[in-house]
A and B are shown apart, each in its own frame.
Chain A
Amino acid sequence: MFKGIYNWIDERLDITPMWRDVADHEVPEHVNPAHHFSAFVYCFGGLTFFITVIQILSGMFLTMYYVPDIINAYASVDYLQHKVAFGGIVRAMHHWGASLVIVMMFLHTLRVFFTGSYKAPREMNWVVGMLIFFIMLGLGLTGYLLPWDNKAYFATKVTLQIAESVPYLGPYIKELLNGGEIVGAQTLTRFFAIHVFFLPGALLALLAAHFFMIRKQGISGPL
Protein backbone atom coordinates (compact mmCIF):
# COMPACT_ATOMS: atom_id res chain seq x y z
CA MET A 1 0.00 0.00 0.00
CA PHE A 2 2.84 2.40 0.83
CA LYS A 3 4.30 1.62 -2.55
CA GLY A 4 0.95 2.61 -4.06
CA ILE A 5 0.84 5.91 -2.19
CA TYR A 6 4.45 6.60 -3.06
CA ASN A 7 3.82 5.92 -6.74
CA TRP A 8 0.69 8.07 -6.72
CA ILE A 9 2.65 11.03 -5.31
CA ASP A 10 5.68 10.31 -7.49
CA GLU A 11 3.57 10.38 -10.65
CA ARG A 12 2.41 13.86 -9.77
CA LEU A 13 5.49 15.41 -8.17
CA ASP A 14 8.39 13.28 -9.35
CA ILE A 15 9.83 12.98 -5.86
CA THR A 16 12.32 10.22 -6.62
CA PRO A 17 15.19 12.61 -7.42
CA MET A 18 14.47 14.48 -4.19
CA TRP A 19 14.52 11.25 -2.23
CA ARG A 20 17.84 10.38 -3.83
CA ASP A 21 19.23 13.76 -2.87
CA VAL A 22 18.20 13.39 0.71
CA ALA A 23 18.71 9.77 1.58
CA ASP A 24 20.29 7.66 -1.09
CA HIS A 25 24.00 7.78 -0.48
CA GLU A 26 26.78 5.57 0.71
CA VAL A 27 28.65 5.73 4.00
CA PRO A 28 32.35 5.23 3.31
CA GLU A 29 34.37 2.84 5.42
CA HIS A 30 36.58 5.40 7.13
CA VAL A 31 33.65 7.06 8.89
CA ASN A 32 31.84 3.87 9.83
CA PRO A 33 32.48 2.80 13.43
CA ALA A 34 31.43 -0.72 12.51
CA HIS A 35 34.66 -0.99 10.54
CA HIS A 36 37.00 1.24 12.50
CA PHE A 37 35.97 1.91 16.06
CA SER A 38 37.86 5.20 16.16
CA ALA A 39 35.45 6.47 13.51
CA PHE A 40 32.96 7.11 16.33
CA VAL A 41 34.28 10.69 16.29
CA TYR A 42 32.33 11.10 13.05
CA CYS A 43 29.09 10.41 14.97
CA PHE A 44 29.23 13.61 17.01
CA GLY A 45 27.55 15.68 14.30
CA GLY A 46 24.67 13.23 14.10
CA LEU A 47 24.42 13.08 17.89
CA THR A 48 24.35 16.88 18.05
CA PHE A 49 21.46 16.80 15.64
CA PHE A 50 19.72 14.11 17.68
CA ILE A 51 19.93 16.20 20.86
CA THR A 52 18.88 19.30 18.90
CA VAL A 53 15.73 17.44 17.87
CA ILE A 54 15.14 16.52 21.53
CA GLN A 55 15.58 20.18 22.48
CA ILE A 56 13.08 21.34 19.89
CA LEU A 57 10.50 18.72 20.83
CA SER A 58 10.84 19.11 24.60
CA GLY A 59 10.82 22.90 24.15
CA MET A 60 7.57 22.69 22.23
CA PHE A 61 6.02 20.79 25.11
CA LEU A 62 7.39 23.26 27.65
CA THR A 63 5.68 26.17 25.90
CA MET A 64 2.35 24.43 26.42
CA TYR A 65 2.64 25.38 30.10
CA TYR A 66 5.20 28.17 30.29
CA VAL A 67 3.88 31.72 30.71
CA PRO A 68 6.38 34.46 29.83
CA ASP A 69 5.53 37.15 32.34
CA ILE A 70 7.28 38.01 35.57
CA ILE A 71 4.35 37.18 37.81
CA ASN A 72 3.54 33.79 36.34
CA ALA A 73 6.78 32.54 34.78
CA TYR A 74 8.17 31.02 37.94
CA ALA A 75 4.79 29.71 39.01
CA SER A 76 4.20 28.06 35.64
CA VAL A 77 7.61 26.36 35.71
CA ASP A 78 7.00 25.26 39.28
CA TYR A 79 3.60 23.87 38.30
CA LEU A 80 5.06 22.07 35.30
CA GLN A 81 7.84 20.60 37.38
CA HIS A 82 5.78 19.39 40.30
CA LYS A 83 2.16 19.00 39.20
CA VAL A 84 2.01 18.08 35.52
CA ALA A 85 2.37 14.38 34.72
CA PHE A 86 5.85 13.81 33.24
CA GLY A 87 6.38 17.59 33.37
CA GLY A 88 9.51 17.09 35.46
CA ILE A 89 10.92 14.73 32.86
CA VAL A 90 10.20 17.08 29.98
CA ARG A 91 11.82 19.94 31.82
CA ALA A 92 14.82 17.83 32.81
CA MET A 93 15.21 16.74 29.19
CA HIS A 94 15.32 20.34 28.05
CA HIS A 95 17.60 21.39 30.92
CA TRP A 96 20.20 18.61 30.64
CA GLY A 97 19.80 18.48 26.86
CA ALA A 98 20.92 22.11 26.71
CA SER A 99 24.21 21.13 28.31
CA LEU A 100 24.55 17.91 26.35
CA VAL A 101 24.01 19.61 23.02
CA ILE A 102 26.83 22.03 23.83
CA VAL A 103 29.11 19.14 24.77
CA MET A 104 28.27 17.24 21.57
CA MET A 105 28.69 20.33 19.43
CA PHE A 106 32.04 20.95 21.07
CA LEU A 107 33.21 17.42 20.34
CA HIS A 108 31.92 17.68 16.77
CA THR A 109 33.79 20.96 16.28
CA LEU A 110 36.97 19.39 17.64
CA ARG A 111 36.57 16.40 15.32
CA VAL A 112 36.20 18.68 12.33
CA PHE A 113 39.13 20.77 13.50
CA PHE A 114 41.58 17.98 14.22
CA THR A 115 40.73 16.03 11.06
CA GLY A 116 41.32 19.24 9.12
CA SER A 117 37.90 18.83 7.51
CA TYR A 118 37.34 22.58 7.45
CA LYS A 119 39.83 22.98 4.64
CA ALA A 120 38.96 23.58 0.99
CA PRO A 121 36.35 22.99 -0.29
CA ARG A 122 34.52 22.96 3.08
CA GLU A 123 35.38 26.46 4.32
CA MET A 124 31.83 27.73 4.00
CA ASN A 125 30.47 24.83 5.96
CA TRP A 126 32.88 25.56 8.81
CA VAL A 127 31.77 29.19 8.89
CA VAL A 128 28.12 28.11 8.93
CA GLY A 129 29.06 25.69 11.71
CA MET A 130 30.59 28.48 13.78
CA LEU A 131 27.46 30.58 13.30
CA ILE A 132 25.44 27.60 14.58
CA PHE A 133 27.84 27.52 17.53
CA PHE A 134 27.07 31.15 18.41
CA ILE A 135 23.35 30.58 18.00
CA MET A 136 23.55 27.66 20.39
CA LEU A 137 25.33 29.79 22.98
CA GLY A 138 22.64 32.44 22.47
CA LEU A 139 19.94 29.85 23.07
CA GLY A 140 21.67 28.82 26.30
CA LEU A 141 21.95 32.41 27.44
CA THR A 142 18.35 33.41 26.74
CA GLY A 143 16.88 30.15 28.03
CA TYR A 144 18.66 30.59 31.36
CA LEU A 145 16.47 33.57 32.30
CA LEU A 146 13.13 31.96 31.55
CA PRO A 147 12.46 30.08 34.84
CA TRP A 148 12.70 33.50 36.54
CA ASP A 149 14.25 32.24 39.74
CA ASN A 150 17.07 34.06 41.53
CA LYS A 151 19.76 32.17 39.65
CA ALA A 152 18.20 33.19 36.33
CA TYR A 153 17.63 36.78 37.35
CA PHE A 154 21.04 37.55 38.76
CA ALA A 155 22.99 35.73 36.06
CA THR A 156 21.12 37.76 33.43
CA LYS A 157 21.79 40.96 35.30
CA VAL A 158 25.51 40.23 35.28
CA THR A 159 25.45 39.20 31.62
CA LEU A 160 23.80 42.46 30.64
CA GLN A 161 26.31 44.42 32.69
CA ILE A 162 29.07 42.67 30.77
CA ALA A 163 27.31 43.40 27.47
CA GLU A 164 27.11 47.04 28.49
CA SER A 165 30.88 47.28 28.86
CA VAL A 166 31.38 46.65 25.14
CA PRO A 167 32.68 49.94 23.72
CA TYR A 168 30.18 52.19 21.86
CA LEU A 169 27.61 49.50 21.10
CA GLY A 170 27.37 48.14 24.65
CA PRO A 171 24.65 50.43 26.01
CA TYR A 172 22.53 49.82 22.89
CA ILE A 173 22.92 46.05 23.08
CA LYS A 174 21.99 46.21 26.73
CA GLU A 175 18.93 48.31 26.12
CA LEU A 176 17.83 46.14 23.23
CA LEU A 177 17.99 42.99 25.33
CA ASN A 178 16.70 44.66 28.47
CA GLY A 179 13.79 46.37 26.81
CA GLY A 180 14.31 49.27 29.20
CA GLU A 181 16.39 50.26 32.16
CA ILE A 182 16.09 47.21 34.35
CA VAL A 183 15.90 43.45 34.06
CA GLY A 184 12.15 43.12 34.27
CA ALA A 185 8.94 42.29 32.46
CA GLN A 186 10.25 43.48 29.09
CA THR A 187 13.49 41.57 29.44
CA LEU A 188 11.63 38.35 30.08
CA THR A 189 9.31 38.71 27.09
CA ARG A 190 12.25 39.64 24.86
CA PHE A 191 14.38 36.74 25.99
CA PHE A 192 11.38 34.47 25.49
CA ALA A 193 10.81 35.69 21.94
CA ILE A 194 14.51 35.39 21.11
CA HIS A 195 14.77 31.95 22.67
CA VAL A 196 11.64 30.52 21.11
CA PHE A 197 11.33 32.25 17.73
CA PHE A 198 14.35 34.22 16.54
CA LEU A 199 17.20 31.88 17.36
CA PRO A 200 15.48 28.57 16.51
CA GLY A 201 14.44 30.08 13.18
CA ALA A 202 18.01 31.08 12.43
CA LEU A 203 19.22 27.71 13.70
CA LEU A 204 16.95 25.77 11.36
CA ALA A 205 18.00 27.86 8.38
CA LEU A 206 21.68 27.35 9.20
CA LEU A 207 21.21 23.63 9.80
CA ALA A 208 19.56 23.33 6.39
CA ALA A 209 22.57 25.05 4.83
CA HIS A 210 24.91 22.82 6.86
CA PHE A 211 23.26 19.59 5.71
CA PHE A 212 22.88 20.79 2.15
CA MET A 213 26.59 21.44 1.95
CA ILE A 214 27.48 18.10 3.53
CA ARG A 215 25.36 16.27 0.95
CA LYS A 216 26.71 18.34 -1.89
CA GLN A 217 30.35 17.89 -0.90
CA GLY A 218 30.23 14.52 0.75
CA ILE A 219 32.14 13.73 3.91
CA SER A 220 35.84 14.53 3.85
CA GLY A 221 38.07 11.67 2.77
CA PRO A 222 40.27 9.48 4.96
CA LEU A 223 43.37 11.06 6.46
Chain B
Amino acid sequence: MAHGHNSKEKVVFVGDSRVKKNSMVNIPPDFTSFPGKSEAFIPYFLLKEWMVGVVVLVGFLVLTIAHPAPLGYPADPMNAAFIPMPDWYFLFMYQLLKYPYVSGDYVVLGVMGIPGLAFGALLLAPFLDTGKERRFYRRPIASSLMLLSLISCVYLTKVSWDHYQHQLEESGTKPEHIVREEKAREAYEKGQPAPSAVKRAKPVAIVAEDDPAYGLIKQNCMACHATDLNGGSGIPALRGIGDQFSLEELHDVVTNGNGNMPAFKDKLSTAEIDQIATWLSKQKKAAE
Protein backbone atom coordinates (compact mmCIF):
# COMPACT_ATOMS: atom_id res chain seq x y z
CA MET B 1 0.00 0.00 0.00
CA ALA B 2 1.25 3.36 -1.01
CA HIS B 3 0.42 5.09 2.21
CA GLY B 4 -0.07 2.57 4.96
CA HIS B 5 0.04 3.19 8.66
CA ASN B 6 3.71 3.89 8.75
CA SER B 7 4.22 5.75 11.99
CA LYS B 8 7.37 7.40 10.62
CA GLU B 9 5.31 9.44 8.15
CA LYS B 10 4.70 12.94 9.38
CA VAL B 11 1.14 13.10 8.12
CA VAL B 12 -1.05 10.04 8.52
CA PHE B 13 -3.78 9.55 5.95
CA VAL B 14 -7.07 7.79 6.45
CA GLY B 15 -7.57 4.68 4.27
CA ASP B 16 -6.16 5.26 0.83
CA SER B 17 -7.66 8.73 0.46
CA ARG B 18 -5.84 11.98 0.96
CA VAL B 19 -7.97 12.86 3.97
CA LYS B 20 -5.62 13.64 6.81
CA LYS B 21 -6.15 11.67 9.98
CA ASN B 22 -7.29 14.08 12.62
CA SER B 23 -5.08 13.91 15.66
CA MET B 24 -7.31 16.25 17.67
CA VAL B 25 -10.43 14.69 19.11
CA ASN B 26 -13.42 17.01 18.98
CA ILE B 27 -14.37 17.70 22.52
CA PRO B 28 -16.66 20.64 23.11
CA PRO B 29 -15.19 23.30 25.39
CA ASP B 30 -15.52 22.42 29.02
CA PHE B 31 -17.90 24.58 30.97
CA THR B 32 -17.13 23.14 34.36
CA SER B 33 -14.90 26.15 34.85
CA PHE B 34 -18.07 28.25 35.12
CA PRO B 35 -19.84 28.06 38.45
CA GLY B 36 -23.50 27.08 38.72
CA LYS B 37 -26.01 25.22 36.65
CA SER B 38 -25.18 25.03 33.01
CA GLU B 39 -27.66 23.68 30.52
CA ALA B 40 -27.29 21.88 27.20
CA PHE B 41 -27.77 24.29 24.28
CA ILE B 42 -29.64 21.64 22.32
CA PRO B 43 -32.42 20.92 23.03
CA TYR B 44 -33.26 22.63 26.33
CA PHE B 45 -31.88 26.13 25.88
CA LEU B 46 -32.76 26.37 22.20
CA LEU B 47 -36.35 25.38 23.00
CA LYS B 48 -36.70 28.22 25.50
CA GLU B 49 -35.06 30.62 23.09
CA TRP B 50 -37.46 29.52 20.39
CA MET B 51 -40.44 30.18 22.65
CA VAL B 52 -39.21 33.72 23.29
CA GLY B 53 -38.54 34.02 19.56
CA VAL B 54 -42.13 33.08 18.76
CA VAL B 55 -43.47 35.76 21.09
CA VAL B 56 -41.16 38.32 19.49
CA LEU B 57 -42.24 37.19 16.04
CA VAL B 58 -45.95 37.54 16.86
CA GLY B 59 -45.37 41.01 18.29
CA PHE B 60 -43.41 41.95 15.20
CA LEU B 61 -46.11 40.68 12.84
CA VAL B 62 -48.74 42.65 14.73
CA LEU B 63 -46.59 45.74 14.20
CA THR B 64 -46.27 45.08 10.48
CA ILE B 65 -50.02 44.75 10.13
CA ALA B 66 -50.80 47.81 12.24
CA HIS B 67 -48.18 49.97 10.54
CA PRO B 68 -47.65 49.26 6.84
CA ALA B 69 -44.30 50.35 5.43
CA PRO B 70 -44.55 53.95 4.23
CA LEU B 71 -44.46 54.77 0.53
CA GLY B 72 -44.54 58.33 -0.82
CA TYR B 73 -44.93 59.53 -4.38
CA PRO B 74 -42.60 58.51 -7.23
CA ALA B 75 -39.24 60.27 -7.27
CA ASP B 76 -39.44 63.55 -9.12
CA PRO B 77 -36.03 65.21 -9.49
CA MET B 78 -37.73 68.53 -10.31
CA ASN B 79 -39.49 68.64 -6.97
CA ALA B 80 -37.59 71.46 -5.26
CA ALA B 81 -39.78 71.70 -2.17
CA PHE B 82 -39.08 68.21 -0.84
CA ILE B 83 -37.32 68.14 2.53
CA PRO B 84 -34.71 65.38 2.38
CA MET B 85 -34.47 63.11 5.41
CA PRO B 86 -32.27 60.05 5.92
CA ASP B 87 -33.41 57.08 7.97
CA TRP B 88 -33.49 57.73 11.73
CA TYR B 89 -30.24 55.95 12.56
CA PHE B 90 -28.27 58.33 10.34
CA LEU B 91 -29.78 61.46 11.82
CA PHE B 92 -27.02 62.01 14.36
CA MET B 93 -24.43 62.28 11.59
CA TYR B 94 -26.76 64.36 9.45
CA GLN B 95 -27.29 66.79 12.31
CA LEU B 96 -23.59 66.89 13.17
CA LEU B 97 -22.84 68.27 9.70
CA LYS B 98 -25.10 71.25 10.31
CA TYR B 99 -22.90 72.80 12.98
CA PRO B 100 -20.57 75.60 11.87
CA TYR B 101 -17.21 74.12 12.84
CA VAL B 102 -17.82 70.81 11.13
CA SER B 103 -19.32 72.07 7.87
CA GLY B 104 -18.49 74.54 5.14
CA ASP B 105 -14.75 75.14 5.26
CA TYR B 106 -14.35 72.66 8.08
CA VAL B 107 -16.45 69.92 6.51
CA VAL B 108 -13.46 67.57 6.58
CA LEU B 109 -13.77 67.60 10.34
CA GLY B 110 -17.46 66.72 10.07
CA VAL B 111 -17.28 63.93 7.51
CA MET B 112 -13.92 62.45 8.48
CA GLY B 113 -12.63 63.91 11.73
CA ILE B 114 -15.30 63.31 14.31
CA PRO B 115 -16.97 60.19 12.86
CA GLY B 116 -13.54 58.80 11.98
CA LEU B 117 -12.32 59.32 15.52
CA ALA B 118 -15.48 57.92 17.11
CA PHE B 119 -15.86 54.87 14.88
CA GLY B 120 -12.12 54.32 14.72
CA ALA B 121 -11.92 54.25 18.49
CA LEU B 122 -14.90 51.90 18.62
CA LEU B 123 -13.37 49.61 16.01
CA LEU B 124 -10.07 49.47 17.88
CA ALA B 125 -11.54 49.46 21.38
CA PRO B 126 -9.90 46.14 22.38
CA PHE B 127 -6.49 47.56 21.50
CA LEU B 128 -7.05 50.89 23.21
CA ASP B 129 -8.55 49.50 26.39
CA THR B 130 -6.18 46.64 27.11
CA GLY B 131 -6.59 46.30 30.86
CA LYS B 132 -7.74 43.02 32.33
CA GLU B 133 -10.66 44.61 34.17
CA ARG B 134 -14.03 43.83 32.56
CA ARG B 135 -16.54 45.46 34.90
CA PHE B 136 -17.68 48.79 33.45
CA TYR B 137 -17.60 50.64 36.76
CA ARG B 138 -13.94 49.79 37.12
CA ARG B 139 -13.19 51.16 33.64
CA PRO B 140 -14.22 54.78 34.13
CA ILE B 141 -12.55 56.17 31.01
CA ALA B 142 -13.90 53.67 28.50
CA SER B 143 -17.34 53.64 30.10
CA SER B 144 -17.69 57.40 30.36
CA LEU B 145 -16.51 57.93 26.77
CA MET B 146 -19.14 55.43 25.62
CA LEU B 147 -21.85 57.05 27.72
CA LEU B 148 -20.88 60.48 26.43
CA SER B 149 -21.07 59.31 22.81
CA LEU B 150 -24.41 57.67 23.46
CA ILE B 151 -25.84 60.82 24.99
CA SER B 152 -24.55 62.93 22.09
CA CYS B 153 -26.04 60.55 19.54
CA VAL B 154 -29.43 60.63 21.24
CA TYR B 155 -29.25 64.42 21.56
CA LEU B 156 -28.25 64.97 17.92
CA THR B 157 -30.95 62.61 16.71
CA LYS B 158 -33.58 64.44 18.73
CA VAL B 159 -32.48 67.88 17.56
CA SER B 160 -32.51 66.68 13.96
CA TRP B 161 -35.98 65.20 14.28
CA ASP B 162 -37.40 68.27 16.02
CA HIS B 163 -35.92 70.46 13.31
CA TYR B 164 -37.59 68.32 10.66
CA GLN B 165 -40.96 68.58 12.41
CA HIS B 166 -40.45 72.33 12.61
CA GLN B 167 -39.61 72.53 8.90
CA LEU B 168 -42.72 70.55 8.05
CA GLU B 169 -44.86 72.85 10.14
CA GLU B 170 -43.30 76.00 8.76
CA SER B 171 -43.71 74.98 5.13
CA GLY B 172 -47.13 73.50 5.83
CA THR B 173 -46.20 70.17 4.27
CA LYS B 174 -47.11 66.71 5.33
CA PRO B 175 -44.82 63.78 4.62
CA GLU B 176 -45.95 62.25 1.33
CA HIS B 177 -46.62 58.79 2.66
CA ILE B 178 -49.11 60.30 5.11
CA VAL B 179 -50.81 62.32 2.37
CA ARG B 180 -51.10 59.17 0.31
CA GLU B 181 -52.54 57.23 3.18
CA GLU B 182 -55.12 59.92 3.89
CA LYS B 183 -56.19 60.06 0.25
CA ALA B 184 -56.51 56.29 0.13
CA ARG B 185 -58.62 56.33 3.30
CA GLU B 186 -60.86 59.10 1.93
CA ALA B 187 -61.39 57.16 -1.29
CA TYR B 188 -62.11 54.02 0.71
CA GLU B 189 -64.71 55.79 2.84
CA LYS B 190 -66.41 57.10 -0.30
CA GLY B 191 -66.37 53.59 -1.73
CA GLN B 192 -64.03 54.55 -4.59
CA PRO B 193 -61.00 52.58 -5.68
CA ALA B 194 -57.74 53.71 -4.07
CA PRO B 195 -56.01 56.39 -6.14
CA SER B 196 -52.87 55.13 -7.81
CA ALA B 197 -49.70 57.16 -7.58
CA VAL B 198 -48.21 55.36 -10.54
CA LYS B 199 -48.22 57.52 -13.64
CA ARG B 200 -48.34 55.35 -16.70
CA ALA B 201 -47.05 57.38 -19.60
CA LYS B 202 -49.65 56.29 -22.13
CA PRO B 203 -48.94 57.77 -25.53
CA VAL B 204 -51.42 60.53 -26.19
CA ALA B 205 -52.84 60.32 -29.68
CA ILE B 206 -52.98 63.27 -32.06
CA VAL B 207 -56.59 64.34 -32.54
CA ALA B 208 -58.07 65.56 -35.85
CA GLU B 209 -55.15 64.86 -38.14
CA ASP B 210 -57.26 65.59 -41.27
CA ASP B 211 -58.05 69.12 -40.12
CA PRO B 212 -56.42 71.74 -42.42
CA ALA B 213 -54.91 73.32 -39.27
CA TYR B 214 -52.67 70.27 -38.98
CA GLY B 215 -51.04 71.35 -42.21
CA LEU B 216 -50.19 74.71 -40.62
CA ILE B 217 -48.73 72.95 -37.61
CA LYS B 218 -46.59 70.80 -39.89
CA GLN B 219 -45.23 73.86 -41.61
CA ASN B 220 -44.64 76.07 -38.61
CA CYS B 221 -44.20 74.07 -35.49
CA MET B 222 -42.69 70.66 -36.16
CA ALA B 223 -39.20 72.02 -36.60
CA CYS B 224 -39.10 72.56 -32.86
CA HIS B 225 -41.89 70.48 -31.35
CA ALA B 226 -40.75 67.40 -33.32
CA THR B 227 -42.48 65.66 -36.20
CA ASP B 228 -44.40 63.44 -33.82
CA LEU B 229 -45.27 66.50 -31.68
CA ASN B 230 -43.73 64.81 -28.63
CA GLY B 231 -41.28 67.67 -28.15
CA GLY B 232 -37.94 66.91 -26.57
CA SER B 233 -34.85 68.55 -25.06
CA GLY B 234 -36.67 71.28 -23.19
CA ILE B 235 -39.40 71.80 -25.78
CA PRO B 236 -42.80 70.71 -24.53
CA ALA B 237 -44.94 68.17 -26.36
CA LEU B 238 -47.99 69.44 -28.18
CA ARG B 239 -49.84 66.16 -27.87
CA GLY B 240 -52.42 66.48 -25.14
CA ILE B 241 -51.74 70.22 -24.89
CA GLY B 242 -55.47 70.92 -24.72
CA ASP B 243 -55.54 69.32 -21.28
CA GLN B 244 -53.10 71.92 -19.97
CA PHE B 245 -54.17 75.16 -21.58
CA SER B 246 -57.42 76.85 -22.49
CA LEU B 247 -58.18 78.07 -26.01
CA GLU B 248 -57.39 81.68 -25.01
CA GLU B 249 -54.08 80.74 -23.44
CA LEU B 250 -53.06 78.78 -26.53
CA HIS B 251 -54.07 81.66 -28.71
CA ASP B 252 -51.92 83.97 -26.64
CA VAL B 253 -48.85 81.69 -26.61
CA VAL B 254 -48.88 81.26 -30.36
CA THR B 255 -49.54 84.97 -31.00
CA ASN B 256 -47.04 86.45 -28.56
CA GLY B 257 -44.66 83.61 -27.84
CA ASN B 258 -43.37 82.69 -24.41
CA GLY B 259 -39.74 82.40 -23.38
CA ASN B 260 -37.99 80.51 -26.16
CA MET B 261 -41.23 79.97 -28.01
CA PRO B 262 -41.30 82.49 -30.87
CA ALA B 263 -44.26 84.79 -31.48
CA PHE B 264 -46.23 84.05 -34.65
CA LYS B 265 -48.26 87.26 -34.89
CA ASP B 266 -46.08 88.52 -37.76
CA LYS B 267 -45.81 85.22 -39.62
CA LEU B 268 -49.40 84.04 -39.51
CA SER B 269 -52.73 85.78 -39.93
CA THR B 270 -55.12 86.01 -37.00
CA ALA B 271 -57.43 83.58 -38.78
CA GLU B 272 -54.62 81.06 -39.10
CA ILE B 273 -53.65 81.46 -35.44
CA ASP B 274 -57.33 80.99 -34.56
CA GLN B 275 -57.36 77.77 -36.53
CA ILE B 276 -54.16 76.55 -34.87
CA ALA B 277 -55.30 77.44 -31.36
CA THR B 278 -58.64 75.72 -31.89
CA TRP B 279 -56.87 72.63 -33.18
CA LEU B 280 -54.45 72.67 -30.22
CA SER B 281 -57.30 72.97 -27.74
CA LYS B 282 -58.77 69.78 -29.21
CA GLN B 283 -55.56 67.90 -28.35
CA LYS B 284 -56.91 66.14 -25.28
CA LYS B 285 -56.08 62.76 -23.96
CA ALA B 286 -58.75 60.24 -24.94
CA ALA B 287 -61.02 59.37 -22.01
CA GLU B 288 -60.03 56.04 -20.48
Contact between chains at A152 and B75 (CB < 8 Å): yes
A75 CA to B67 CA in the complex, in Å?
Answer: 20
Chain B interface residue bracket vs A:
35 or more
Contact between chains at A99 and B134 (CB < 8 Å): no
A167: contacting residue among B38, B42, B108, B142, CB under 8 A = B108
Contact between chains at A158 and B146 (CB < 8 Å): no
Contact between chains at A50 and B88 (CB < 8 Å): no
Measured between beta carbons, the chain A residues less than 8 angstroms from B139 are 116
Contact between chains at B41 and A27 (CB < 8 Å): yes
Q: How many residues of A contact B (CB 8 A)?
A: 82
Measured between beta carbons, the chain B residues less than 8 angstroms from A28 are 31, 34, 36, 38
Q: Quick one: which of B35-68 are within 8 Å of A by CB?
A: 35-42, 45, 48-49, 52-53, 56, 60-61, 63-65, 67-68
Instruction: Indicate whether A175 reaches chain B with its CB closer than 8 angstroms.
Output: no
Measured between beta carbons, the chain A residues less than 8 angstroms from B97 are 162
Scan A112-128; emit 1 where CB is below 8 A from any B CB, else 0. 01111111101100110
Instruction: Indicate whether A24 reaches chain B with its CB closer than 8 angstroms.
Output: yes
A119: contacting residue among B36, B74, B111, B129, CB under 8 A = B129
Instruction: Indicate whether B101 reaches chain A with its CB closer than 8 angstroms.
Output: no
Told that A81-B68, A159-B90 touch, could you supply 18 new A-B pairs with CB distance under 8 A? A17-B26, A25-B28, A25-B29, A32-B45, A34-B39, A47-B56, A88-B69, A96-B60, A99-B89, A110-B146, A115-B134, A116-B133, A116-B136, A119-B129, A127-B123, A137-B90, A159-B86, A166-B112
- Interchain Cβ contacts under 8 Å between A and B, 17 examples: A26-B31, A30-B35, A30-B36, A32-B37, A32-B45, A34-B48, A35-B36, A43-B52, A94-B69, A113-B136, A115-B134, A147-B71, A150-B72, A150-B73, A150-B176, A151-B70, A162-B111
